[in-house]
Amino acid sequence: MAERRLEGGKIVVATHNKGKLAEIRDLIAPHGIEAVSAGELDLPEPEETGETFEANAAIKALAAATASGLPALADDSGLCVAALGGQPGVHSARWAGEDKDFTRAMRNIEELLADDGSGDRRAHFVAALCLAWPDGHTETVRGEVHGALVWPPRGSLGFGYDPMFLPEGETRTFGEMSAEEKHGLKPGEEGLSHRARAFSLFAKKCL
């Protein structure tokens, strides 16, 4: 199937997560595209039954595109910890519980690493972006950033597991970095984050 490009206008960002919405809006704003969230449209959240980030992103994007009649962009992302066999992975948000308590989720990961005893603190973030149209066409890309986990968490910027993730070659966690630093929002800068890397591929493919 031929690749399809987005022809400007408005899209739905298929998320109810305010932190994720803010990051995607930051990334898409320079392209002159208006973004409204699934939460703002009061669209239901579909059950994420996929076994991969790409599958879950497609489920969310297709549901929002079908319900809204607009192209929809969905992100499915998570933290994969080497010593935990890639967990929490696609279940990263679920580890925080219904109350989205990522402080507890980070503590749980640290306790599991202590129990593991290997000293292996390697981890990577993954972000899959899927753009879906109401007719069912989809375009999907994937970005990754590798690094290590620190304890205790550092920084209050970002969201989710950012305060315990130290990207390769950096001295500060994502929780200590501004949105501009994480996403390369200044002209000529390349973003560090998994979402920025996925969006760079998405922009080349679809915008």
Q: List residues with catalytic annotation.
A: 76
Q: Residue 146 burial (CB < 10 Å; 0-12/13-18/19+)?
A: middle
Q: In angstroms, rounded to a whole number, what is the distance separating the alpha carbons of residues 19 and 103?
A: 15
Residue 139's nearest CA partner among 51, 202, 47, 56 is 202
Task: Find out whether 153 and 161 touch, Cβ atoms under 8 Å.
Answer: no
Q: Element (H or E) spanning 13, and its range? A: strand 10-13
Q: Which residue has the tokens 């597991």?
A: 161
